[in-house]
Amino acid sequence: MRFPVSLNDLYNKHSQLDLCTSLASTQNAGLIELERDKMKISNKVFVKRFDRSVTKTVCRRKSLLSDGSLKGVRLLIMVGSYSESPVLQRAVTDTLPDIQVVTPVGASSVVLRGALIYGHNPLSISVRILKYTYGTKCAHPFLEGVDPESRRLASRDGIDRCIAFSKLLQIGQVVKTGETQVNRTFFTHSKDQKSLIFELYASEREDPVYIGDDKCFRIGQLEMIFDGDSNTSEREVSLSMLFGGTEIIVEVEDKCTGTKKITSVDFLG
């Protein structure tokens, strides 16, 4: 590879050592040499520089393919500039012998072309696999000896409650674009309650119990303010979630009056 003479001069100036002499005193002596404006690196040393990234990439692929929803995959398409590396291609092919590995011509520009296609036709991606578990903040009756005291919430009606995670969708779940995935009904705690706030959360855990840990984060909020009085002590409010191109469309409806509120949150996270 070309090695600028100016960089060699800069090294000599700051280290007070000749670069050729320094290379000869390292563990790579004889494997890396400098000749005029060229640095010669042996194949052994060059390939070894890829070990860490190749290992992580291959392990990640094997981890993804071991998931139940991907067990039927028999074709793997490698895209992106790193996919053009023969070192990575060989490692992927050797570690996934039962899967056909394809690297298209111009792999470095495939991602860009895919983004352009998706921009013109968002429905070109019809199915997605959830990266997170989605849910809402909820307050259920406090369970003595089960729920931690730090989660206890005193209530005016005399029933202590616990702040927890109410799961709506689970990580790894397959969802179809444009289809409503969740239809859930919630109720107010009292007849004179003036509003119901839905705090939306995402978690990296499969079955989160509480909100607020390092793997759970807030992604949005939607408030339903009630108009008029309800004839029952519990007011019924429905919540639905629909997955669009890159957004989750969340809608809540007051079943008493038919009032609806809609918001959206970033699906890609």
CA distance 12 to 35: 15
**Global pTM value:** 0.64
Tell me, what's the pLDDT at 245? 67
| Model pLDDT, residue 230 | 60
pLDDT of residue 228: 65
Residues 245, 125 contacting (CB under 8 angstroms)? yes
Backbone dihedral angles phi then psi of residue 99, each to the nearest 5 degrees = -120, 135
Report residue 188 CA to chain centroid gap: 33
Q: Residue 245 CB: number of other CB atoms within 10 A?
A: 16
pLDDT of residue 102: 92
What are the pLDDT tens digits along the chain (269 aa)? 888 888 888 888 888 778 888 888 888 788 888 887 888 888 888 888 899 999 999 998 888 888 766 778 889 999 988 999 999 999 999 988 888 999 988 888 888 888 888 888 877 778 888 888 999 988 888 888 888 888 888 777 678 888 888 899 888 888 888 888 888 888 887 777 788 888 999 999 988 888 877 788 988 888 888 876 666 667 888 999 887 767 788 888 888 888 888 888 765 55
Domains and CATH numbers, the chain: 5-48 (no CATH), 51-120 (no CATH), 129-266 (2.60.34.10)
Give every CB contact of residue 228 below 8 A, 6+ residues apart in sequence: 256, 257
- Amino acid code (one letter) for 159: I
Helical ranges in 102-256 per DSSP H? 107-120
- What is the residue type of 72? G
Q: Estimate to the nearest angstrom the gap between the alpha carbon of 195 and the chain centroid.
A: 32
Q: Give, in degrees to the nearest 5, the angle at Cα 14 between 10 and 20.
A: 65
